[in-house]
Amino acid sequence: MLIDEAVRFLSQVPPFQFLEGPLLRELAQSLTMAFHPKGEVILHQDGPVSEHLQIILKGGVKITLRPEGGGEEVVVDYRERGETFGLVSLMGGHQRTTIVAVQDTTAYLLPKARFSELVHSHPAITEYLLQFHLTKYADMTSREIQGKSVFLESSDHLLFTAQVGEICQQFTTVVEADTSIRQTARRMVEERQSAALVVGPSGEPIGILTDSDFRARVVAEGQPIDGPVSRVMSHPVVSVDEKDPCFEVILKMLQCDIDHVAVTREGAIRGVVTNHDFLVLQGRSPLAFSEDIEHQTTLEGLAPVSRKALSIIGVLLREGARATNIIRIISELNDRVVRKVLEFAERECGPPPVPYCWLALGSEGRKEQTFRTDQDNALIYADVSEVQRTRVAEYFRRFTVYLRNGLVQCGFEACPANYMASNPDWCQPISAWKRYFSTWISEPTPEAVLKSLIFFDFRPLHGDEALAWELREHFGRLIPDYPAFLGFLANMLVRNRPPLGFFGSVAVERSGEHKDGLNLKIKAVAPLVDIARLFALEKGLQQVSTMDRLEALRGGTSLIAELVDELAYAFEFVTLLRVHHQYRQLEAGQPIDNFIHLDGLSNLERQSLKKAFRLILKIQDRVMDRYKSFII
Amino acid sequence: MGLRAWTRAKLGMGASGADLPIQELRFTVLDTELTGLDERRDDIISIGALHMQGSRIELGNTFQELVKPGAILDGRTVVIHGITPSELEARPPIEEVLASFTEYAEGTVLVGHCLSLDLGFLNRDARRFRRAPFRNAAVDTLSLYGWLRRRSSDHPAFTLDLPAPSLFDLAAAFEIPVEASHSAIGDAYVTAQLFQRFLPLLQQAGVGTLAGLRRVGNPRRQLANLAASDGHTHF
């Protein structure tokens, strides 16, 4: 009975939950249970070392450190139910901190000898407990989140667990480039294939012909059916490996705007997979939404499709997609809606008088929107002569107002801070934009830097991208000359300290600053985004997405080069938490917010969040050191 | 017989036993289930016990034995214990269980809630089978509670307005989780956790050795302790 209770508890507590049942049961036999009344000093700094690893069953402890050479005692950490203490002195032979019970606390004690055995038989346990690495446990964490979510029924995880090789059709229809269209069509009908592979003289694949190519090119364009198939095939062939997860293939198809890809095995083409295959598999795939969007010719038709697209998030979560992939898909779909509205606007207002570039800003620019947030956009147009100026400005005024209203109709709320192209300030010729950035960088003030951050994460979404790159180059050249600008970014970054106290006693939560829960966006997402931005700008990188920025910083010379894996995992994790939280609210018809409560988190989630906070703290300390002359 | 030798005989342990600090003591926390409360007619139907080393409860190495009773269970007790007569048939007789329990408890201090009741039955059966009665030192958690109630007024659990609180009243007051289905081992576990909460309070009140523990936790003192505390709390 006592053992059952302990096993039940430990099977929910990392890292013990990763041990097999019989081992856990055997481990429980060696446990003792201790009671520490509130206020008890369990371990003294520089006192006797711990003889046990203590696993908290109820209550909580505070860990404090008295700096060497005197000074005030500082709180290093709080530990609570499901967490452990005593490990460092158990392994290191020196008690470096003082540990006090902040509530009446009961703990299971694992004796040193038994712990040592465990360390030898399961090195992963120590590794976990030492909390050096975040990434190793990423999969377990996301698996656990998926397992417990109330809204995830026992649906198949095909889209994300299946490899594309499992669902692709083998090519049976292979034709040569000079085969006639008629001949090819006949063979496809006879062999009941929806696609044919077109090969060159030496059998190398040069194109694919699908049913939809027939509709779009042969029928719609009235191509003579006695012409060679090479005239209507899709080429070049976009191929994926048969081991790629279906999800990645879908993303690739979205990005390349194609409805089929060739599937290869060890480089050789083996089959084809089409959007239709995913539809059959899925019922509703992101590709289907993208097609729906593409087919719309009016704003009235687009609006309901766009609003419905949010339901794809449920499918993706059910499928166990990684959070960073989910937000990428959301961005892809949102981009399509925006491009469609731009297309309608050009039709409505007539062709633009000069080239322009539509910019997505902030989270939309970084492709990190969770649920549809408000519009954050801007427009750059080519410089015009004095005479033209008024006419061009008037055109883009009408154009951007159409955009703002059209996007509102499609479910993107207007930006309350008016960071929209429809605001004349943010719809300017390139020379004006360059002046903006020059001012932000060369004469930074805290407010100006804070306000301008959203613009540093811009991404060209439509139109003449050269304008966007010109602007990026412009400010990229300026930044090294004005160190105070990065100093301001650093300053802002270190001021948003992670709330480790969030994990402290329940009492703190009930009355303190976290009584409404933790603002995940401000306290967890924003610092990680800010870290990636600071170092990307410092190194003059072109990337905009947080993940892309981190990837580009890997192995470089920045202060965070060796922490890239941990940062990427932390970002993945907090994004997933946020997407889940908001999706749950969406499903329940509640307003969407960023406040999460400790109660709703599993032990593993809490620990992952805590690790993310510790990582942010660590980087903040490094930033503070590097930019000390700018830190106010 | 001198005082020292007398103490030694009563404790059933070494001469220095009385001075041993509590952390060095080994305890057997026990609970028995009975067919009724009448020592002349009723029987032990199960014994559950566990060890504590100082203030730490050992999860492994527990003692759980069900006993074949001499008398037939009546319907009332069946309801309380959830045990049916046919379940009892396959069990070992009391003399075997008593022998293994004696071995389990050897050299330890016995702890129980209203321990004199359990000890009464255990010693009656020991006599019946010509075994020596239990000579272990014994501590009663109800006696400890009564004694502490007279001293520790600041802990909310001591304002409990009951003349003789049951194990479960105290478990609730000290926030100790209790399982719905009662068993001897389950109740012994609750008793152990209660005892665990008392130990730091006793330490604060200057009770830190076996002698002190025996003095304030004497199973025969429970009524006296409680009566005194009743007067104190204006019951």
What confidence tens digit (pLDDT) does each residue in A516-570 have? 678 888 889 999 999 999 999 999 998 999 999 999 998 888 888 889 988 998 9
Share of residues in chain B with pLDDT > 90 (%): 51
Residues A62-80, mean pLDDT to the nearest whole number: 70
Q: According to the model, what pLDDT value does residue A121 have?
A: 79
Q: According to the model, what pLDDT value does residue A291 have?
A: 73
Interface test with chain A among B29, B51, B57, B61, by most A beta carbons within 10 Å: B57
Most confident of A230-244, A378-392, A511-525: A378-392
3-state secondary structure of A528: helix
CA distance B99 to B106: 11
In angstroms, what separates the C-alpha of B6 from chain A's closest C-alpha?
34
Beta bridge mates, A263:
A240, A271
3-state secondary structure of B13: coil
Least confident of A235-244, A502-511, B149-158: A502-511
Q: According to the model, what pLDDT value does residue A505 have?
A: 40
Find chain A residues with C-beta within 8 A of B62's C-beta. Answer: 1-2
Q: According to the model, what pLDDT value does residue A350 have?
A: 92
Per-residue pLDDT at B145 exceeds 80: yes
CA distance A210 to B231: 96
Least confident of A201-215, A226-240, A390-404, A509-523: A509-523
Label residue A421 by pLDDT band (50, 70, 90). Answer: very high
Per-residue pLDDT at A608 exceeds 70: yes
Which of B56, B60, B183 shows the shortest C-beta gap to A34? B56
Label residue A314 by pLDDT band (50, 70, 90). Answer: low
Per-residue pLDDT at A252 exceeds 60: yes
Amino acid at the residue A599: D
Which of A2, A28, A35 shows the shortest C-beta gap to B197? A35
Amino acid at the residue A58: K
Which of A28, A35, A40 shows the shortest C-beta gap to B59? A28
Find chain A residues with C-beta within 8 A of B50's C-beta. Answer: 2
- Report B:168-197 residues touching A (Cβ under 8 A): 175, 179, 183, 185-186, 189, 193, 196-197
Most confident of A124-138, A283-297, A405-419: A405-419
Per-residue pLDDT at A470 exceeds 90: yes
Q: According to the model, what pLDDT value does residue A526 have?
A: 92
Q: According to the model, what pLDDT value does residue A123 have?
A: 66
Q: According to the model, what pLDDT value does residue A36 have?
A: 95
Q: According to the model, what pLDDT value does residue B215 have?
A: 92
Share of residues in chain A with pLDDT > 90 (%): 30
Per-residue pLDDT at A408 exceeds 70: yes
More confident residue, A189 or A362: A362
Find chain A residues with C-beta within 8 A of B186's C-beta. Answer: 1
Per-residue pLDDT at A143 exceeds 70: no
Contacts of A279 (CB under 8 A, 6+ apart): A285, A287, A288
Label residue A230 by pLDDT band (50, 70, 90). Answer: confident
- B170 within 8 A of B145, measured Cβ to Cβ: yes
Residue A533 in tokens: 């931005």
Extended beta strands in A133-259, E state: 169-170, 174-176, 195-199, 205-210, 239-241
Interface test with chain B among A32, A53, A55, A105, by most B beta carbons within 10 Å: A32
Residue A519: phi, psi to the nearest 5? -80, 100
Which of B57, B183, B201 shows the shortest C-beta gap to A32? B57
Q: Which of A259, A262, A263 is nearest to A288 (CA)?
A: A259
Residues A187-206, mean pLDDT to the nearest whole number: 81
- Burial call B91-111: b when 16+ CB within 10 Å, e when fewer: beebeebbeebeebbeebbbb
Q: According to the model, what pLDDT value does residue A93 have?
A: 62
In angstroms, what separates the C-alpha of A583 from chain B's closest C-alpha?
35
Label residue B235 by pLDDT band (50, 70, 90). Answer: very low
Per-residue pLDDT at A316 exceeds 80: no
Label residue B229 by pLDDT band (50, 70, 90). Answer: very low
pLDDT digits (tens, 9 = 90+) for A108-138: 999 988 888 887 777 667 666 654 323 323 3
Which of B56, B179, B200 shows the shortest C-beta gap to A109? B56
Q: According to the model, what pLDDT value does residue B75 have?
A: 55
Task: Check CB contact under 8 Å for A2 and B53.
Answer: no
Per-residue pLDDT at A320 exceeds 80: no
Q: According to the model, what pLDDT value does residue A25 have?
A: 93
> What's the order of all strands across the beta sheet hosting A195-199?
A174-176, A195-199, A205-210
3-state secondary structure of B30: strand
Label residue A217 by pLDDT band (50, 70, 90). Answer: confident
Q: According to the model, what pLDDT value does residue A224 have?
A: 79
Find chain A residues with C-beta within 8 A of B175's C-beta. Answer: 104
> What's the order of all strands across the beta sheet hosting A60-65?
A41-43, A98-101, A60-65, A74-80
Per-residue pLDDT at A42 exceeds 90: yes
Q: Which stretches of A57-110 are DSSP H helices? A: 87-92
pLDDT digits (tens, 9 = 90+) for B166-215: 899 999 999 899 987 778 999 999 999 999 999 999 998 999 999 999 99
More confident residue, B24 or A204: B24
Task: Check CB contact under 8 Å for A1 and B185.
Answer: yes
Per-residue pLDDT at B124 exceeds 50: yes
Share of residues in chain B with pLDDT > 70 (%): 77
Q: According to the model, what pLDDT value does residue B207 have?
A: 93
Which of A30, A33, A37 shows the shortest C-beta gap to B57? A33
What's the whole-model pTM score? 0.53
3-state secondary structure of A136: helix
Label residue A457 by pLDDT band (50, 70, 90). Answer: very high
Nearest-by-CA chain A residue for B201:
A37
Q: What is the mean pLDDT of chain A?
A: 81
State the DSSP H helix or E strand holding residue B53, giving kind and residue range, or none if neither.
strand B44-53
B150 touches chain A (CB under 8 A): no
CA distance A286 to A460: 22
Mind listing the domains of chain B with CATH numbers? 23-232 (3.30.420.10)
In angstroms, what separates the C-alpha of B196 from chain A's closest C-alpha?
7
User: % helix / strand / coil in chain B, to the nearest 5?
Assistant: 50, 15, 35
Per-residue pLDDT at A373 exceeds 80: no
